[in-house]
């Protein structure tokens, strides 16, 4: 098994990308970091790019808006092309701004427009809490009752993964009353990837709008938002996009909505048409496309760190990233399944789908008992994975900086800790 890791690392076209990141240390050696789904590692390019802006601020102060090396006036656009490539969009459909939850609210102001007949939202049960609260509060904002207006799709009895047919059936059954279908691209807890193209199609066939939260999908899985006709999408950039804590969020608005004057929005001056913005005129005129949803002037430091991370993405083929993702995750899964086979009483179940088309990099390991004890052992041993209540350890090998050897090491040490805790049967 170790030979496989050595062989795979030796022919990995992304192997050298690990050097583009700082890997945290544990007891004088590299930690085994598998939390790229929560907070990506720091690209080495971050500090120089941040320093550039901090020094330009020192040197130019307000003049930096136009005279900095990268003028701040248009700084938000330095990430647009790279983001557009990653989400499969035209540059005018994408903007980096605010944070994920703020963008979800802003998008829902424009795209969740309930009427007496059509007011329901279809979403996954157990969505990330921020999404649940945003959606619930939007529903209340319109004077509606979340119990009535929100249709949650749950896994079937005793299962952890939502059946795709159950999503499609719910959309069909409620076709008359649905205003919005809102799903995550990848479920944060189970690691399930939803079939975004088909869900969008079903939503549109029902006459509804379709939006996605791409927090765990961007930089992790194949996205073709434009071709799939997704109406809007939001994301954060600190997970697989490695932009750092509290990193800048993003918004996708499909071109077909770019110039729709009927769409309400909560506007701000940075969404105003660029050429005439500084005439400071009364009456909001939105700039074309997603940038017309901006509120405030560019968050330069956040954008600088995202730019550094996107430099890494720009230097690689996305197909290589996705192929390595599948291979790494399958390898981790295979080693864990072997462990299960050798220790039939291990209270472990991998709940993430087996089919690579139905998942990204993450594996969610459900412990029927003693999960907390296991993760404490792992963390104390420099194996950085995370814990989600009530009983799930999430691990995600990130193809840009994790190696097959990392996965092998993980499995070997995981096996040792489990043997200590549970005894080999």
Ligand X SMILES: *Cc1c(COP(=O)(O)O)cnc(C)c1O
Which residues contact ligand X (rule: CB under 6 A)?
Answer: 99-101, 128, 130-131, 184, 188, 213, 215-216, 236
Contacts of 344 (CB under 8 A, 6+ apart): 425
Vertex 265: Cα angle to 131 and 123 (nearest 5): 25
Decide: 94 and 252 in contact? Cβ < 8 Å: yes
- How is the chain split among helix, strand and coil, in percent rounded to 5? 45, 15, 40
- Cβ proximity to ligand X, 101 vs 309, nearer residue: 101
Closest approach, Cβ 101 to ligand X, in A, equals 3
| Smallest distance, ligand X to C-beta of residue 50, A | 20
Q: Is 191 left (phi over 0), alpha (psi -120 to 50) or beta?
A: left
What does residue 40 show for φ and ψ, rounded to 5 degrees?
-70, 160
Nearer to ligand X, 71 or 126 (CB): 126
Helix (H) or strand (E) holding 323: helix 318-342
Minimum Å distance from CB 216 to ligand X?
5
- CA separation for the pair 293, 410 (Å, rounded): 43
Residues 200/225, Cβ–Cβ less than 8 Å:
no
* Closest separation in Å from C-beta 43 to ligand X: 19
Please state the closest distance from residue 302 (CB atom) to ligand X, in A: 12
Closer CB to ligand X, 40 or 292, in the complex: 40
Considering the complex, what minimum distance in angstroms separates the CB of residue 180 from ligand X? 16
Query: How would you write 40-58 as a 3-class SS string?
Result: CCEECCHHHHHHHHHHHHH
Nearer to ligand X, 24 or 246 (CB): 246
What is the Cα–Cα distance from 381 to 414, expressed in whole angstroms?
Answer: 10
Nearer CB in complex with ligand X: 245/344: 245
Q: How far is the CB of 28 from ligand X (least distance, A)?
A: 32
| Whole-angstrom distance, CA of residue 284 vs CA of residue 303 | 25
The nearer residue to ligand X, 84 or 123, going by C-beta atoms, is 123
**What is the nearest approach in angstroms of ligand X to the Cβ of residue 246?**
8
Q: Which is nearer to ligand X, 130 or 356 (CB)?
A: 130
Evaluate whether 5 touches 328 at the Cβ level (below 8 Å).
no
By C-beta, is 111 or 128 nearer to ligand X? 128
Report, in Å, the least distance between residue 247 CB and ligand X: 8
Q: Which of 281, 246, 412, 415 is nearest to 343 (CA)?
A: 415
Q: Indicate the residue among 131 and 231 with the shorter CB distance to ligand X.
A: 131
Whole-angstrom Cα distance, residue 114 to residue 118?
6
Q: Which is nearer to ligand X, 215 or 385 (CB)?
A: 215
Distance separating alpha carbons of residues 108 and 116, to the nearest angstrom: 17
Distance in Å, CB of 236 to ligand X, minimum: 4
> What sign does the dihedral 397-400-402-405 (CA atoms) show?
positive
CB 358 within 8 A of CB 351: no
Return the biggest CA–CA distance within the chain: 76
253 half-sphere exposure, CB direction, 13 A CA radius: 27
Contact 21, 42 (CB under 8 A): yes
């Amino acid at each position: 098994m170790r030979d496989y890791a050595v062989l795979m690392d030796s022919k990995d076209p992304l192997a050298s990308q690990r050097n583009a990141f700082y890997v945290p240390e544990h007891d004088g050696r590299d930690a085994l970091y598998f939390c790229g789904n929560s907070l990506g590692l720091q690209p080495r390019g971050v500090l120089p790019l941040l320093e550039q802006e901090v020094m330009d601020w020192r040197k130019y102060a307000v003049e930096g808006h136009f005279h900095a090396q990268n003028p701040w006036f248009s700084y938000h656009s330095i990430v647009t092309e790279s983001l557009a490539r990653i989400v499969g969009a035209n540059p005018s459909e994408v903007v980096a701004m605010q944070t994920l939850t703020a963008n979800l609210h802003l998008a829902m102001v424009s795209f969740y427009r309930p009427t007496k007949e059509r007011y329901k939202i279809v979403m996954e049960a157990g969505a990330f809490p921020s999404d649940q609260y945003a959606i619930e509060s939007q529903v209340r904002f319109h004077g509606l009752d979340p119990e009535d207006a929100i249709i949650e799709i749950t896994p079937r009895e005793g299962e952890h993964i939502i059946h795709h047919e159950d999503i499609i059936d719910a959309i069909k059954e409620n076709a008359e009353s649905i205003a919005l279908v809102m799903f995550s691209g990848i479920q944060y807890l189970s690691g399930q990837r939803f079939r975004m193209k088909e869900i969008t199609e079903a939503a549109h066939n029902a006459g509804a709008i379709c939006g996605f939260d791409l927090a765990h999908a961007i930089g992790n899985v194949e996205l073709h938002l434009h071709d799939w006709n997704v109406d809007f999408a939001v994301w954060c950039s600190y997970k697989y996009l490695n932009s750092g804590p509290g990193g800048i969020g993003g918004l996708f608005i499909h071109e077909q909505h770019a110039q729709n004057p009927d769409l309400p929005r909560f506007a701000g001056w940075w969404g105003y048409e660029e050429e005439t913005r500084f005439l400071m005129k009364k009456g909001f005129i939105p700039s074309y496309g997603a940038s017309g949803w901006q509120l405030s002037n560019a968050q330069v430091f956040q954008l600088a760190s995202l730019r550094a991370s996107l430099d890494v993405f720009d230097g690689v083929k996305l197909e290589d990233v996705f192929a390595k993702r599948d291979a790494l995750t399958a390898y981790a899964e295979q080693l864990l399944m072997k462990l299960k086979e050798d220790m039939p009483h291990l209270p472990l179940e991998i709940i993430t789908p087996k089919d690579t088309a139905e998942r990204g990099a993450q594996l969610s390991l459900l412990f029927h008992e003693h999960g907390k004890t296991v993760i404490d052992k792992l963390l104390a041993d420099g194996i950085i994975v995370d814990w989600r209540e009530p009983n799930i350890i999430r691990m995600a090998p990130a193809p840009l900086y994790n190696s097959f050897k990392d996965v092998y090491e993980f499995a070997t040490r995981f096996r040792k800790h489990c043997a200590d805790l549970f005894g080999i049967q």
